[in-house]
A and B are shown apart, each in its own frame.
Chain A
Amino acid sequence: MNFELSAEDRAFRDQVRQFLKDNLSPDIVRRARTEVHPPNEEDRRWWNSVLNKQGWAAPSWPKEYGGTGWTPVQRHIFEMECRLAGAPELRWQGLRLIGPVICEFGSDAQKKRYLPPILEGTEQWAQGFSEPGAGSDLASLKTTALLDGEHYMVNGQKLWTTEAGYSELGFFLVRTDTTSKHGGISMLIIDMKSPGVTVRPIEMINGDISTYEVFLDNVRVPRENLIGEPGSAWTQTKFLLANERTSSADIDKAYGDLRRIRAIARHEKKNGRPLMEDPHFRLRLTRLTLEVEALDWSVLRVLSGAPSNYPRASASVLKIKGSQLQHRLTELAVDALGPRALRLYNRADAFAAEPSALWPEHTPGVMADHLYMRACTIYGGAMEVQKNIIAKQAFGL
């Protein structure tokens, strides 16, 4: 056992810090730190292209396709530094979800066509998995894609298709065979501008729109857009999720949240003194700080391939604790800000806000983030489903 960050990793961290300092502007940082969801799309596309010029857009990809060749710990350092510096969070769907799937399972033609624009940030992707009747029980999805000559004819409805309204492409789970449950599902790339694709926004309780319903009505999709063999999407989906074993801990956001809470608590007053000096508040903050640090070490253990008695449960453990902490962190941020958190900012106001004495820089986005984050124990596999997974995988229950 040796828990020291190597000299190489420390030098790497310094290099990342310098790069972030040289490339991020105060405006970009201010918008990112509101944590308004979804983040500002232009900022994200721009940051995607900046990272790509540096060769850092897709750390999780194999090196031959544009990955960085970093170790898992270095990727962790990179993401943490980006978040703490206030870099825009890049879109996940292309870089972290479908990109690695295309690298692993895609045809040469698919790799050539789709990977470069993901790296450049010029084509963004939507993830079409859930349906009205297929939430936690994803394999009961009903959208069909039936072969008609050289095209698939796609019909069905997708739900919770995050950021579909401004995505160029989508990867969709479709049923190419209605006789087999898991074995009948395929992954299909659909151009979101195809005739028959209708995207309808869903307004969320944070007052914003980040997710959509997608109606697929006789959409003709070229046969070559199917990834791998027909019926192999369940394997691809498991691969996709396995790639993201630690990211659902949201550990870099958690550290960002702690930073934000401290900033609020140093500024806000209680009984004429900074809230930070209030003993009860300090203990709440300290308690959360400890738990975030413990989770950070849990992430490091998984990334470092630490021996574990419960390897197949580790992703669910991280997801449960990470999402519970998101609830508590964003709650504490709201509590720290107090009744001023009740002001409803529309996103334009939140992003444009010039700090004033009454409404300082740390005000916008606090409540919106909290409201949006109620979803984090639901999306990506609800907490109760994660508990089922742990009971089975860790204990054989």
Chain B
Amino acid sequence: MDFNLSEEQRLLLDSASRYVRERCDLESRRQAVREADGFSRRHWQHFADQGWLALTLPEAAGGMGLGMADAIVLMEALGRGLICEPLIDSSILCGDLIAGAPEQGGLNALLADIGSGTALAALAHVELDGRSEFDTPVTCTAEPDGDGWRLQGTKHRVFYGSSASHLIVSAQVSGEMGYSLFVVAAGADGITLDNFPLIDGTRAADIHFDQVPVSAPARLYNGQAAAKAMDRALNRAIVAASAAALGSMEAVMDMTADYLKTRQQYGKPLSSFQALTHRMADILVETEQARSMLYAALAALDQDDSTEQNRQVSAAKALIAQAGMWVTGQGIQLHGGIGVTEEYAVGHHYKALQVYHLRFGDSDFHLERCARLIDTGAMPGH
């Protein structure tokens, strides 16, 4: 067991932390979310230049071929800075789905574009009655048409959907068990979008597919392979998002401790009130639990046993979402009124945690998933 950062991870952490410190203050974030994309193309380009978008992509496609341990080092640092660019969606979630596809013909070029930031991929999977990617029904259809298919249906709240150059779309091919996953150019004929802002300033879209033609090689997976690939990619996206959530918790902890030292009431600093310092202790206890759970999930990603992998990732999501909502919520409380204002970072971290909590299955979902998997025998301590 070794929890120390490698030299490369140390450098990655340093460069990401420096970027966040120097370039990602709240004012620049405020400007970023005012852009049409709901994030900053300038940051996006910087991420690409640094190789961060290619971090976990395969070397064969020009990626750096690094693992999720490296990704969480990066994401925690970026989470501290409340970055709103779709690194997880495009590079990790969609990148993993594309890189894992059995037929790689032509996909390396797309992966290279994702790594260089010229392509931006988003997952269009959830539909009206789906609470998350895990439980959504797939009613979109792919009807055979010549060598390829035509997509029909509506995808609901596709994160970064309006900025995407490529969509990974789930659809039912008639006569087949389970859904298939297709990669589609977002500008294809027959695609229309209704895009809307989210509470953290980013954008999402409902996307309508009306007889959208897709070619034969655009089908990445079918049947069980699609569901399996989806689980794997979601597990990795959740671990990366959990690292960003932890970054928010750490940032809130720091700014709240500083605030207690400087803010004066009744003629003395808030740090002289034990009720408040004890709350800070609780905040550290919960944040440390969250960090440990992130490591547990990261360790599980390397295991062959997919049940254990799923269980551990769900465990992390359930615990970190609850701990994170509580910690950032207490951050607001200890700041008092300023904590609920737009001009102060702590409330933005709370919203970031709210997004984390509700995306990719909320904490109740993951707790229940964990409970189910415990029944099937994946159980710690014998």
A-side residues, CB < 8 A to B, are: 1-6, 73, 80, 84, 255-256, 258-259, 262, 276, 279, 282-283, 285-287, 289-298, 300-301, 304-307, 309-310, 313-314, 316-317, 320-321, 384, 386-388, 390-391, 394-397
Contact = CB atoms under 8 A, between A and B. Distances in A.
Contacts of B2: 1-3, 304
B348 to A, nearest CB: 22
Contacts of A304: 1-3
Please classify how large the interface on chain B is, using the bins under 10, 10 to 19, 20 to 34, 35 or more: 35 or more
A317 B367 CA distance: 24
A255 B381 contact: yes
B358 interface: no
Contact of B278 (A290, A293, A317, A387): A387
A277 to B, nearest CB: 9
Nearest to A384: B278
A80 B381 CA distance: 9
B69 A1 contact: yes
A301 B370 CA distance: 23
B72 to A, nearest CB: 9
B5 interface: yes
A293 B380 contact: yes
Interface in B365-380: 367-368, 370-371, 374-375, 379-380
Contact of A73 (B1, B291, B380, B382): B1
Nearest to A5: B1
B370 A290 contact: yes
Nearest to A320: B285
Interface in B273-330: 274, 277-278, 280-282, 284-285, 288-293, 295-296, 298-299, 302, 315, 318-319
Given A283-B371, A317-B285, A391-B280, 12 more contacts: A4-B1, A286-B371, A286-B374, A291-B319, A295-B289, A298-B292, A300-B1, A300-B292, A306-B4, A307-B3, A321-B289, A388-B274
A136 B374 CA distance: 41
B129 to A, nearest CB: 22
B371 A282 contact: yes
Contacts of A286: 367, 370-371, 374
B298 A387 contact: no
A279 B375 CA distance: 12
B193 interface: no
Given A297-B296, A387-B277, A387-B278, A317 B288 contact: yes
B255 to A, nearest CB: 11
B3 A283 contact: no
Given A286-B367, A397-B260, A294 B284 contact: no
A395 B256 CA distance: 10
Contact of B292 (A255, A301, A307): A301
Contacts, number: 153
A297 B271 CA distance: 30
B381 A259 contact: yes
B265 interface: no
A317 B3 CA distance: 18
Contacts of A276: 375
Contacts of B290: 294
A387 to B, nearest CB: 4
Kindly name the residue among B284, B296, B379 whose own CB sees the greatest number of chain A CB atoms within 10 A.
B284
Nearest to B299: A3
A219 B219 CA distance: 87
Give me the 5 closest cross-chain CB pairs, A-B, nearest first: A306-B3, A297-B292, A255-B381, A391-B277, A3-B299
Nearest to B269: A397
A303 to B, nearest CB: 8
A8 to B, nearest CB: 12
A394 B381 CA distance: 31
A315 to B, nearest CB: 12
A301 B295 contact: yes
Contacts of A262: 379
Nearest to A85: B382
Contacts of B298: 1, 3
Contacts of B260: 395, 397
B284 A390 contact: yes
B293 A297 contact: yes
Contact of A397 (B261, B374, B375): B261
B36 to A, nearest CB: 38
A3 B295 contact: yes
Contacts of A300: 1, 292
Contacts of A395: 257, 260, 277, 280, 284
5 contacts: A1-B6, A73-B1, A294-B289, A390-B284, A391-B280
A397 B257 contact: yes
A180 to B, nearest CB: 28
Contacts of B302: 3-4
A321 B375 CA distance: 26
A307 B4 contact: yes
Kindly name the residue among B299, B318, B379 whose own CB sees the greatest number of chain A CB atoms within 10 A.
B299
A307 B280 contact: no
A4 B281 CA distance: 31
Nearest to A306: B3
A390 B281 contact: yes
A262 B377 CA distance: 12
Given A282-B371, A286-B367, A259 B382 contact: yes
A157 to B, nearest CB: 30
A292 B6 CA distance: 28
Contacts of A384: 278
Contact of B380 (A255, A256, A287): A255
A95 B233 CA distance: 48
